[in-house]
Structure 1
Amino acid sequence: MYHSQNAFNPQQGLLNMTSSENDPLGRNRDDISNDIDTMEAPPSGDDQDLDQAARRKRYHRHTQHQIQEMESFFKECPHPDDKQRKELSQELGLEPMQIKFWFQNKRTQVKTQHERHENNLLKSENEKLRADNIRYKELLRNATCPTCGGPAAVGEMSFDEQELRLENARLREEIDRVSAIATKFSPKSPGSYYNMPSRSLDLGVGGNYGAQPGMVGEMYDGNDPFRAFPLPTDADKLMIVELALMAMDEVTRLALSAEPLWVAGSYGTEILNEEEYQRTFPRAIGQNLGFKTEASRQSAVVIMSHARIVEMLMDVDQWANVFCGIVTRAVTLEVLSTGIAGSYNGALQVMAAEFQVPTPLVPTREHYFVRYCKKHSDESWVVVDLSLDHLRPGAVRGCQRRPSGCIIQELPNGYSKVIWVEHVEVDGREVHDLYKHFVNSCLAFGATRWVASLDRQCERFASVNATNIPAGDLCVVIGRKSMLNLAERMMLSFCNGVGASTAHVWTPLTIGGEDLRVMTRKSVNDPGRPPGIVLSAATSLWLPVPPTRVFHFLRDEKARNRWDILSNGAIVEEVAHIGNGRDPGNSVSLLRVNSSNTTQSNMIILQECWSDAAGSYVVYAPVDIVAMNLVLGGGNPDYVALLPSGFAVLPDGSGMKNGPGPIIETGSGGCLLTVAFQILVDSAPTAKLSIGSVTTVSNLIKCTVDRITAAVTGAAAPN
């Protein structure tokens, strides 16, 4: 008889049965599962305990006809309700409880078979991935340093040293955090909410090119202008609440209105009709600075829930990371309201931020503003910003943020629709002539760029968390997430170092007719960079070709030896690839330079390429091979030291297009190319910057620019 280890629980109505592979009658487990058994309810009373166990195991074998009928019904409905079980019992001559138990055990059997099949598939896939992992590691293990012939590395340091530097960085952050809290509650500065801890300014870098203390691009140094932003008084807070409510109403109306308030503009962006705006909103919020107005609207469907997007916008750190190409620095100065019942509904906070374009030739824009979040309905939220510059008497203001923000609407399957309104008044006289069309087209700081950045980051998050890996990916599954996180840090470092942020001091140079900007960085105890003096150099130029042509040329590893001087004409091979969005051009790759010269053979490069409606980027960095082996095995990417270089490709603003879409390739419109290099010129942090280092980097950029120009325009290559 079939042996059951678990007794029937009449309160739960479940029968849990376990068995050996075969019972004493010689039937296997699958045969037994088809013999759905019934049992009688155990009699109550202590005097019947001996008989109870025996009666619990009294089973009845079903006929073949009964089994076939229930099998057929199971295919149509695996979970019959009470009425269906009663009809089956009458038709087959069984009790409803017998029908119930048969379907329970049948579902268990199907689930077990399915899991067994999945386990076999996973085991086969695991063996395949293991073989790929061994092959990739072997490829990386054979790479050598181009100078000494040993294992290639960005910085000569062991993993123990890297781990110590990482721990030191974490300890410094903890000290800064505790110091900030202590300063906040110090009796010497009552009411001071925001006191950014000072960082070391002993740079020790100088030379003949104007380098001086403060030239290093520290994110927050002692001259941080955010320190000058005032904190609102109690009287100001009441006014801020009223302004936030008015801004919420205006942004909502702007986001949902149609023509004639909005007219078609360049690159699929909607431009605000100023005359109609004045009629619709006669009492404009904010002061009239007498500057030109930039107002645009854009919408998109993104692969992220509306609640997650609201969280990113209201958390200043997440907001700055998601929009790293636009936001160089951001801080929450004071939280006036945290929202209702643990949500962001009604959250109100005073913030300061700096926005940039990926070039040193466009000045950044600093904003001091209030951010207000409100639940508009069960399916949508509204997040708005409004400048508080009137609280800064005497401050020199070059821009003002009028009511701006977005509506986030919930869609099925984890998607959201975002409608973004960007409305600013700005003095654009300091913009370089090269970028005037781009800025005036509302692509530089407008709604299209914000929405495009959000859409790209949503695709990135979806790619990091993807479980169904595309067949075209050449990277092992184990290291996929670590490699994407490493590429994200590389892109963040590049964006923070290529613009005209006031946190950095660029030194303009003119070498060979090129407008070159140079700055130095001192890297000490930074686990993300090799130690020493880092030279950053950037230049921007106009090319008479569409942006897409330049982007695809730069991202093509087969064409890399045509512009990359360091590859010395060698063949570049892609040894790992991760798709990072809908566009096939958006990807993270691991490249190897196969050179016949043994001193340059097997160079390893981490590269990320992405393109959206506002611009394209190709960013790369030499990587330590031993560290990349750990990353490919799923290790911590924070141990990999990076010095990212690369390109930002932007439309020049002269092209026109009806409707949203990728970068334009119509008409006579050209593109704006920014070339930026970071090079370790000396591994000693106390070293002085030499004239030879600057000259070398300048010549490197000039030669690279000449080669790219010749390749994409069809001109003769320079000698």
Structure 2
Amino acid sequence: MNLGIDIAIPNLAEILLSAKNELVSLLKTNEPLWIEDTTDGRYVIHRDSYDRTFSNNFRRKGGISSRTIFESSKDMGYVSMNANKLITMLSDSKVRLDIFPTILTESVVVQEYAGKMISPNQLGSIQLVYEQMHLYSPLLAPRCWYYLRYCEKIDIKTWVIVEVSCDPFSSENIQLPGCGTPAWRLPSGCLINEAAPSLSKVNWLEHVQVDDLKALTPNLYRDIVLRGLSFDANRFLQTLLRSVFRLNCHIMFNKIGVTQHFGQILSMTPEARRVILDISYNMLKNFCGNLTMKNKIDLPYMYSNNIRFSIYSVNGSTSQNSRFLVNATTSMWIPLPFNEIVDFFNNANMRNQWDVLCNQQAAKQIGIITYGKSQENSISLIQPFVSLNPNLMVIQETLSDPLGAVVLYTLTDVYDLQKAIHKAIPQGSSLPLTPPCDIEVIPSGFIIYKDGSPGTKIATSKKSCTYAGMDKGSIVTAVFQVVSQTATSFETVEMSLVKTLHSVVTSTIQNIMHALNCHNQ
């Protein structure tokens, strides 16, 4: 991102040193600065104690109002990675997009202050960063901010990365691009301690000020968003753990656990596992990126039954060489615990009850790769029954998330997969998390969020539902995508393709609700 100006920040050293001290203090202190949230047992900052202990220097100009909401959380975990390597990853905005693909949609260094040294133990340059986050749903606007990032080694085995918002543009009249929910980052970040040569102890803290959040949040998502669960410390830390597990699996692919051999269709060699990881990760990146792609045209006149349609340029441009993709998304509330819904989508024997590709014929899971601390993440190979093309295969990945899970899948050809495996180089990979893969990936899938605080009412289409307990309901966002084979511009995307996708989405949702015995919702 090039703003075309040199951004000077007064009192830069004072801001960062004060923010670092506040962050370390909050991470090392519990009561009375932190109190237990009686709703779910999480710890949040006690506002009165915080205001008495720390100055108000980091708050957004203009103070707070009745529309202001503060979000605060902290968490601790152990990451299977060398501390120096982990710090390098978390300090690189491009790599952060690979680490947090289900949270971050944009992360870019606006300016580096290479000549600014505020401590002899400073690591790297001070960075002014623009970042955008999104809770994946067509109903929610992204959250974005500018902040300063600073890293320092505070003792022989401990490092701190501090991130704090500043207001460098107050005299430049610069607006945040593409941002629906401007937010303000109070001193946040992490402490990283070298617990062992390949093990890091990470303490993560998020502290955010957001205005007008209640007015900008649809009823369907208020329980998640207004309780501060969207982007809390636990979600960042668990996503970091998942990405590092995946990276370690990619590097050490010979040690990946496979619970079932791939039979005659594919030989489960280390190269095969590595290629499948590559394809699946590209699928995740494309899936998340397409949901928030800026270069799109919405089709409001096609909205019906809460289904939203957009047209995207596959490669992000509108040149004559571009290919165009039609995207359909819809969100719904289902009165079932999220794990039951995830199990339903992961059960190959039940796939013919909802996937139109199966044409009501049985599908078969022919292999699975699992990874993660409790093997809760998986990549499956599924063979649907398609009489016209028996070589088609579905690659499906399920990702665990503190909010629930993401289930996404793409269709590929067995022969294309075998060619990619044949070309794979049998060696480990370093950053980025995945090398390029030749196979084009057009993913569809489902984002399943836990939902259901006591006494909450939300609306789904024409009916309101009341539920109690966090395991009583789920918010499901379904995303379906298809590429136009003939369009050369947004205007030439055939409406027949849009209408066909509308029919597929409508029938698939009806099939899912019927199979889950929720067709009356």
**TM bucket, shorter chain:** 0.7 to 0.9
| Corresponding residue number in structure 1 for 2:441 | 642
Amino acid in structure 1 at the alignment position of 2:59:
G
Indicate how the Cα distance of structure 1 residues 268 and 624 shifts in structure 2: closer, same or farther if over 3 A, else same.
farther
Amino acid in structure 2 at the alignment position of 1:522:
S
| Corresponding residue number in structure 1 for 2:430 | none
Q: CA deviation at 1:559?
A: 1.4
Does the 8 Å CA contact 2:297/2:312 hold for their aligned counterparts? no
1:226-625 to 2 correspondences below 5 Å: 227=3, 231-233=6-8, 236=9, 238-265=10-37, 269-287=42-60, 288-290=63-65, 291-337=68-114, 345=123, 347-393=125-171, 394=173, 398-412=182-196, 414-427=198-211, 428=213, 429-466=215-252, 467-470=254-257, 472-474=259-261, 475-499=268-292, 504=296, 506-508=298-300, 511-512=303-304, 514-523=305-314, 532-595=323-386, 598-599=387-388, 601-625=390-414
Indicate how the Cα distance of structure 1 residues 477 and 255 shifts in structure 2: closer, same or farther if over 3 A, else same.
same
Aligned to 1:479, the other structure's residue is in SS state helix
Aligned to 2:72, the other structure's residue is in SS state strand
**Aligned equivalents of 1:488 and 1:324: distance in 2?**
10
Amino acid in structure 2 at the alignment position of 1:708:
I
**Aligned equivalents of 1:296 and 1:669: distance in 2?**
24
Does the 8 Å CA contact 2:453/2:469 hold for their aligned counterparts? no
**Aligned equivalents of 1:445 and 1:438: distance in 2?**
10
Indicate how the Cα distance of structure 1 residues 684 and 317 shifts in structure 2: closer, same or farther if over 3 A, else same.
same
Q: CA deviation at 1:600?
A: 5.0
Deviations 1:397-417 (A, max 9, x none): 732111111111211251222
Q: CA deviation at 1:716?
A: 5.6
Q: CA deviation at 1:477?
A: 1.9
RMSD: 2.9
1:81-92 to 2 correspondences below 5 Å: none
Indicate how the Cα distance of structure 1 residues 525 and 674 shifts in structure 2: closer, same or farther if over 3 A, else same.
closer
Q: CA deviation at 1:548?
A: 1.1
Q: CA deviation at 1:488?
A: 0.8
| Sequence identity percentage | 26
**Aligned equivalents of 1:620 and 1:387: distance in 2?**
37
Aligned to 1:371, the other structure's residue is in SS state strand
Indicate how the Cα distance of structure 1 residues 434 and 316 shifts in structure 2: closer, same or farther if over 3 A, else same.
same
Q: CA deviation at 1:670?
A: 1.2
**Aligned equivalents of 1:445 and 1:711: distance in 2?**
32
**Aligned equivalents of 2:41 and 2:413: distance in 1?**
42
Amino acid in structure 2 at the alignment position of 1:433:
N
Amino acid in structure 1 at the alignment position of 2:78:
V
Aligned to 1:633, the other structure's residue is in SS state helix
Aligned to 1:673, the other structure's residue is in SS state strand
**Aligned equivalents of 1:667 and 1:546: distance in 2?**
8
Does the 8 Å CA contact 2:451/2:471 hold for their aligned counterparts? no
Higher helix share: 1
Indicate how the Cα distance of structure 1 residues 611 and 568 shifts in structure 2: closer, same or farther if over 3 A, else same.
same
1:50-89 to 2 correspondences below 5 Å: none
Does the 8 Å CA contact 1:655/1:668 hold for their aligned counterparts? no
Aligned to 1:232, the other structure's residue is in SS state coil
Does the 8 Å CA contact 2:451/2:472 hold for their aligned counterparts? yes
Aligned to 2:270, the other structure's residue is in SS state coil
Q: CA deviation at 1:247?
A: 0.9
Deviations 1:528-557 (A, max 9, x none): xx9632101111111111111111111222
**Aligned equivalents of 1:519 and 1:318: distance in 2?**
28
Of the structure 1 ranges 427-436 and 530-539, higher mean CA displacement relative to structure 2 is found in: 530-539
Q: CA deviation at 1:356?
A: 0.7
Indicate how the Cα distance of structure 1 residues 707 and 413 shifts in structure 2: closer, same or farther if over 3 A, else same.
farther
**Aligned equivalents of 1:354 and 1:317: distance in 2?**
13
**Aligned equivalents of 2:416 and 2:221: distance in 1?**
40
> Under a length normalisation based on structure 1, what TM-score does the superposition of the two structures give?
0.61
**Aligned equivalents of 1:267 and 1:497: distance in 2?**
33
Does the 8 Å CA contact 1:523/1:685 hold for their aligned counterparts? no
Q: CA deviation at 1:521?
A: 1.7
**Aligned equivalents of 1:622 and 1:239: distance in 2?**
54
**Aligned equivalents of 2:120 and 2:391: distance in 1?**
53
> Under a length normalisation based on structure 2, what TM-score does the superposition of the two structures give?
0.83
Aligned to 2:384, the other structure's residue is in SS state strand
**Aligned equivalents of 1:232 and 1:408: distance in 2?**
30
Structure possessing the higher radius of gyration over alpha carbons: 1
Q: CA deviation at 1:240?
A: 2.0
Deviations 1:596-634 (A, max 9, x none): xx2254421111111132331111111133320023335
Does the 8 Å CA contact 1:624/1:640 hold for their aligned counterparts? no
User: Which ranges of structure 1 fall in alignment gaps of 5 or more residues?
Assistant: 1-193, 196-226, 657-664
**Aligned equivalents of 1:405 and 1:688: distance in 2?**
46
Q: CA deviation at 1:438?
A: 0.5
Q: CA deviation at 1:468?
A: 2.5
**Aligned equivalents of 2:19 and 2:323: distance in 1?**
48
The question of 1:711 aligning with 2:507 is answered no
| Corresponding residue number in structure 2 for 1:659 | none
**Aligned equivalents of 2:115 and 2:97: distance in 1?**
19
Q: CA deviation at 1:682?
A: 2.9
Indicate how the Cα distance of structure 1 residues 424 and 410 shifts in structure 2: closer, same or farther if over 3 A, else same.
same
Aligned to 1:571, the other structure's residue is in SS state coil
Indicate how the Cα distance of structure 1 residues 342 and 604 shifts in structure 2: closer, same or farther if over 3 A, else same.
farther
| Corresponding residue number in structure 2 for 1:202 | none
**Aligned equivalents of 1:692 and 1:706: distance in 2?**
21
Higher strand share: 2
**Aligned equivalents of 1:508 and 1:653: distance in 2?**
30
Indicate how the Cα distance of structure 1 residues 333 and 715 shifts in structure 2: closer, same or farther if over 3 A, else same.
closer
Does the 8 Å CA contact 1:593/1:602 hold for their aligned counterparts? no
1:42-53 to 2 correspondences below 5 Å: none
**Aligned equivalents of 1:690 and 1:516: distance in 2?**
18
Aligned to 2:11, the other structure's residue is in SS state helix
**Aligned equivalents of 2:123 and 2:316: distance in 1?**
41
**Aligned equivalents of 1:247 and 1:300: distance in 2?**
23
Indicate how the Cα distance of structure 1 residues 525 and 298 shifts in structure 2: closer, same or farther if over 3 A, else same.
closer
Aligned to 1:558, the other structure's residue is in SS state helix
The question of 1:701 aligning with 2:505 is answered yes
Does the 8 Å CA contact 1:624/1:641 hold for their aligned counterparts? no
Q: CA deviation at 1:284?
A: 4.0
Amino acid in structure 2 at the alignment position of 1:470:
G
Aligned to 2:441, the other structure's residue is in SS state coil
Indicate how the Cα distance of structure 1 residues 534 and 488 shifts in structure 2: closer, same or farther if over 3 A, else same.
same
Indicate how the Cα distance of structure 1 residues 456 and 653 shifts in structure 2: closer, same or farther if over 3 A, else same.
farther
Q: CA deviation at 1:523?
A: 3.6
Deviations 1:245-303 (A, max 9, x none): 11111111111111222223465642221122112214342322532111111222222
Aligned to 2:59, the other structure's residue is in SS state coil
